[in-house]
A and B are shown apart, each in its own frame.
Chain A
Amino acid sequence: MFITEIRTRNFRNLADEKVEFFDGINVLTGNNAQGKTSVLEAISILGNLHSFRTRRLREVIRFGEKNSDIFGKFTRSGVEDELLIRIDGLGRRIIRSGKQVKDIAEVLGCFPVSSFSPDDIDIIKGGSLVRRRFLDKGCITLFRHFFENHRAYYKALLSRNRIIKTQGVPEDDLLKSYESVMAVSGIELTKMRRSLVNILRTSIRRKNFLENKGAIVDIKYKSGIYSEKDVAGDEDEYRRLLFDKRSIDFQRGFTTIGPHRDDFVIMIDGHPAREFASQGQKRLLAISMLLSLIEETRKAENTPVLLLDDVSSELDSKNRRELYNELSRIGGQILLTTTDSSLYEEIEIPIRIYHVETGRCTIKMERNI
């Protein structure tokens, strides 16, 4: 699937104009604070119904205005689809091809958009939350029931935590029902994340970047249910573990085991990259992981539009060139932002370069090979 055009109204500092995109690499260049990231943000709201920049959607409404529109056209196997999202002070309305959508389930997943910023790929130095989110961005594209299980698990987890915190001696039957939901959906989550780690493990070995070439990279999944064993486990065992942990959990005031503590370790030549890799190696490893993830999600049925916000900024020109070649080889639609477009202009891949200035997006260069 790819996005053919967007049009915004009263959206941040963007001009109320139409911007067309092509099914390949679209590069948005320009200085900071000119609106490059806002273009990506608008597209991510169309696909995910929330923004990667803010939790409060109303912040996108241009200062002094009452509401804001994002309109987008998508094409999938030659069939066009339109989506309009209207944001006002109270919330958002979704209109698909002229008809108001009542249940967001009708559109969630229809326009898959996956976005990555430098924070999202800080998977070597960052905390475990960054790594779980990284995996989840892949899982949601690759596994059909990931979203429902994720939602069920976290809802049950938060409910269990609330019960633990607010009740002196919680009712056994009540805890048990939340633990059952956690066990069922938590095992599913574990299976999916674990299988993605295994997929990435095979893929990243083929995808070492320049300086890392020759280094042996490995990834190990660490389940939040079982601290040591690398096993999928079963529901009954997990339920027993939750039961056994109750007294510890009561003391600490939260649930101490489960997929909300999942993690993975990246190893380089047998050592954890976090401690043993150089700054440069870490950067390249993160980009390699991102490329592996992108390549794997490109195999999914409904491939997401990929938004890469400033992810190449820390790379030198040699590595950047390799990244672009690799992205072009993987294929699919990509929109990426950068402050420096000189390299794109000389590199021999099909590309469209836009210049973004004071909220206006104009085509600067186009190359079809």
Chain B
Amino acid sequence: MSEVMRRLVALLRRLPGVGEKTAHRLSIFLLTSPPEYGRELARALQEAVERVRPCAVCGNLSESTPCELCADPRRDRSLLCVVERVPDLMAIEASHEFGGLYHVLHGVLDPLKGVGPAELNIEPLFSRLSGEVREVILALSASVEGETTALYLRQRLQDRGVRVSRIASGIPVGGELEYVDRGTIGRALSGRREM
């Protein structure tokens, strides 16, 4: 394999869910397709990477900061929905059931993978609370990691004068949340939704 191709494979491998085999398949697909496709893809990627960034306020992906959602005057500023990842936000948005604002953590706490509070978009959440926010809704997955993250946030939120509620996962908010880990930790924990 040529050096250029090896580099391509190595970069593709870093994408989530892409292993050695898939990386090879993708690179061969790209290199045997008409070259316009590869160029177009590279351009789109470059443009997106340069223009789309996490919103400094909520963490949503957008071309502007604050993002369209944060800037929308029709949204209810007293409600804040905390989600793990951008696709969860998109899933809730698609349901048209929620009119408040969001906060994307970009992950969940997992000390075994080296993810502590500092690695997540958590501190900016607290700086948002001084404003009009009256209720924080935690829409996190029912995995052990999601559950502990919710408990942690609740503890830090409880003496801030905001209501904290938890959306029982598995019960979709109109649409469907995209769960990273669909394993639930059972009745023992799921019985405790009221926070």
Q: Evaluate contact between A148 and B151: CB separation under 8 angstroms.
A: no
Q: Is residue A152 contacting chain B, with contact meaning CB distance below 8 A?
A: yes
Q: Evaluate contact between B19 and A90: CB separation under 8 angstroms.
A: yes
Query: Nearest CB to that of B187 among chain A residues?
Result: A145
A90-B19, A90-B20, A163-B111 known; A177+B151 contact, CB < 8 A: yes
A151-B185, A152-B185, A163-B111 known; A181+B155 contact, CB < 8 A: no
Q: Which parts of A144-173 form the interface with B (CB within 8 Å)?
A: 145, 148-149, 151-152, 155-156, 158-160, 162-163, 166, 171, 173
Given the complex, which residues of B lie within 8 Å of A151, measured CB to CB? 144, 183, 185
What are 29 A-B contacts with C-beta separation under 8 Å? A90-B19, A103-B182, A105-B182, A105-B183, A148-B184, A148-B185, A149-B185, A151-B185, A152-B147, A152-B188, A155-B144, A155-B145, A159-B109, A159-B148, A162-B111, A163-B116, A171-B117, A174-B109, A174-B116, A176-B152, A176-B155, A177-B109, A177-B155, A178-B148, A181-B144, A184-B189, A185-B188, A185-B189, A187-B188
Given the complex, which residues of A lie within 8 Å of B182, measured CB to CB? 103, 105
Q: Evaluate contact between A181 and B111: CB separation under 8 angstroms.
A: no
Given the complex, which residues of A lie within 8 Å of B20, measured CB to CB? 90
Q: Evaluate contact between B188 and A148: CB separation under 8 angstroms.
A: yes
CB of A171, distance to nearest CB on chain B (Å): 7
Query: Nearest CB to that of A104 among chain B residues?
Result: B183
Q: How far is the CA of A149 from the CA of B183 in the complex (A)?
A: 11
Q: How far is the CA of A155 from the CA of B108 in the complex (A)?
A: 14
Given the complex, which residues of A lie within 8 Å of B189, measured CB to CB? 152, 181, 184-185
Q: Is residue A188 contacting chain B, with contact meaning CB distance below 8 A?
A: yes
Q: Is residue A180 contacting chain B, with contact meaning CB distance below 8 A?
A: yes
Q: Evaluate contact between B188 and A173: CB separation under 8 angstroms.
A: no
Given the complex, which residues of B lie within 8 Å of A177, measured CB to CB? 109, 148-149, 151-152, 155
Q: How far is the CA of A98 from the CA of B23 in the complex (A)?
A: 26
Q: How far is the CA of A243 from the CA of B150 in the complex (A)?
A: 20
Q: Is residue B156 contacting chain A, with contact meaning CB distance below 8 A?
A: yes
Q: Evaluate contact between A174 and B117: CB separation under 8 angstroms.
A: yes
Q: Evaluate contact between A145 and B183: CB separation under 8 angstroms.
A: no
Q: How far is the CA of A145 from the CA of B188 in the complex (A)?
A: 8
Given the complex, which residues of A lie within 8 Å of B93, measured CB to CB? none
Q: How far is the CA of A184 from the CA of B21 in the complex (A)?
A: 42
What is the interface size of chain B, counting residues whose CB is below 8 A from a CB of the partner?
A: 27
Q: Evaluate contact between A90 and B21: CB separation under 8 angstroms.
A: yes
| CB-contact partner of B151 in A152, A181, A188, under 8 A | A181
Given the complex, which residues of A lie within 8 Å of B109, measured CB to CB? 159, 174, 177
A173-B155, A176-B155 known; A145+B144 contact, CB < 8 A: no
Query: Nearest CB to that of B191 among chain A residues?
Result: A184
Q: Other than A90-B19, A148-B184, give 16 A-B pairs with Cβ distance below 8 A.
A: A90-B20, A148-B183, A148-B186, A149-B185, A151-B144, A152-B147, A155-B145, A156-B148, A159-B110, A159-B111, A171-B117, A173-B152, A173-B155, A178-B148, A180-B148, A181-B147
Q: How far is the CA of A176 from the CA of B150 in the complex (A)?
A: 12
Q: Is residue B192 contacting chain A, with contact meaning CB distance below 8 A?
A: yes
Central interface residue in A163, A177, A180, by most chain B CB within 10 Å: A177
Q: How far is the CA of A160 from the CA of B112 in the complex (A)?
A: 9
Given the complex, which residues of B lie within 8 Å of A162, measured CB to CB? 111-112
Q: Which parts of B150-169 form the interface with A (CB within 8 Å)?
A: 151-152, 155-156
Given the complex, which residues of B lie within 8 Å of A181, measured CB to CB? 144, 147-148, 151, 185, 189
6 A-B pairs closest in CB distance: A148-B186, A177-B151, A177-B152, A152-B185, A162-B111, A145-B186
Q: How far is the CA of A278 from the CA of B45 in the complex (A)?
A: 73
Central interface residue in B20, B109, B183, B188, by most chain A CB within 10 Å: B188
Given the complex, which residues of A lie within 8 Å of B192, measured CB to CB? 184
Q: Evaluate contact between B144 and A156: CB separation under 8 angstroms.
A: yes
Query: Nearest CB to that of A172 among chain B residues?
Result: B155
Given the complex, which residues of B lie within 8 Å of A166, measured CB to CB? 111
Q: Which parts of B85-125 form the interface with A (CB within 8 Å)?
A: 109-112, 116-117
Q: Evaluate contact between A152 and B156: CB separation under 8 angstroms.
A: no
Given the complex, which residues of B lie within 8 Å of A163, measured CB to CB? 111, 116
Q: How far is the CA of A174 from the CA of B19 in the complex (A)?
A: 34
CB of B177, distance to nearest CB on chain A (Å): 15
